[in-house]
Amino acid sequence: MEREFGMGLDTLRGKVVVRALSCAISVALVSVSSGNTFAAAAASRSLIYELKCKGGSSSHNIYIYNGTNSREPIYVMVSKDTAWAIADFVVDVTSLALGVGAVKGAVKGIVKAGSIPAKVKNILDLHEIVKLAALLGTTAHSGAKGALEAKKKLVDALKKNSITINPGECVNVRNDSYLGKILSLDVSKYASLFGARPVRLLVVHGGTYKSAEGASGSDMSWLAGDKSLLPVKHGTIVQVDLGRLKEKIPFE
């Protein structure tokens, strides 16, 4: 870090603090003057999390910042890889199975049969189910039998089995206190499995219920926008890393 920026870490952190404080105060003042108290509160929260989230640390943290324009949270699931069975990273398998079954039943006849996974075995299969659920309740498929009920069942199951990140918040999704609540394995088992290796992320947008699934390096951090998960520069949570933009993960 010191070689990369040509300055000591304390100096670098000071610059990050000054930049974050300046941005947050500016946004907050404009928001308050325009009567947008929600935006003002979000600006204040962004300052707090800018100071808290360093991003790209040597301890293999993966921070995700909810920078979406909606007032809804995002839901994050973490898997070791695409071969990991659902039962390995989901605590409440029963609720998830009910949600998946409801969605599969509701989309029959409105999507091609081949687009519905026969079995939901891993995070890739679950991503396909979430994409189908996002269709339910839209104008095109509002007439699907049990559409809204099926969607609600899956969403409720996702909430139980995911890390919730509220608007303007930043969370280290590899933190034991978060993973311990959603993974079925105990801390000692999954800590040794993750280590410095990449992981798979499934992020569900709480406003649109569109989802993004893809790989994350062990020291990458992300900004969740309305259309994509965007990689951010080390030491920040809001500065998109243009050099790694090809690694962005779109919401589908």
Do 90 and 118 fall into the same domain? yes
pLDDT tens-digit map of 181-228? 666 555 555 555 566 678 899 999 988 889 999 999 888 899 999 999
Residue with tokens 């994409």: 131
Do 48 and 61 fall into the same domain? no
Domain span at 11:
1-52
Do 35 and 113 fall into the same domain? no
Do 176 and 232 fall into the same domain? yes
Q: How many domains does the chain have?
A: 2
Do 25 and 144 fall into the same domain? no
Three-state secondary structure string covering the chain = CHHHHCCCHHHHHHHHHHHHHHHHHHHHHHHHHCCCHHHHHHHHHHHHHHHHCCCCCCCCCCEEEECCCCCCCEEEEEECCCCCCHHHHCCCHHHHHHHHHHHHHHHECCECHHHCCCCCCCHHHHHHHHHHHHHCCCHHHCCCCCHHHHHHHHHHHHHHCCEEECCCCEEECCCHHHHHHHCCCCHHHHHHHHCCCCEEEEEEECCCCCEEEEEECCCCCEEECCCEEEEECCCCCCCECHHHHHHCEECC
Do 27 and 126 fall into the same domain? no
pLDDT tens-digit map of 138-192? 655 555 667 888 888 998 999 888 999 999 999 888 776 666 666 655 555 555 5
Do 133 and 95 fall into the same domain? yes
Do 83 and 9 fall into the same domain? no
23 pLDDT more than 90 = no
Give the pLDDT confidence score for residue 222 in this predicted structure.
94
What confidence category does residue 44 fall into, taking pLDDT thresholds of 50, 70 and 90?
A: very low
Do 38 and 66 fall into the same domain? no
Do 37 and 111 fall into the same domain? no
> Last residue of a domain, which of 37, 52, 67?
52
Distance CA 145, CA 151 (A): 11
> Last residue of a domain, which of 35, 52, 69?
52
Give the pLDDT confidence score for residue 214 in this predicted structure.
95
pLDDT tens-digit map of 136-147? 866 555 556 678
> Last residue of a domain, which of 52, 69, 88?
52
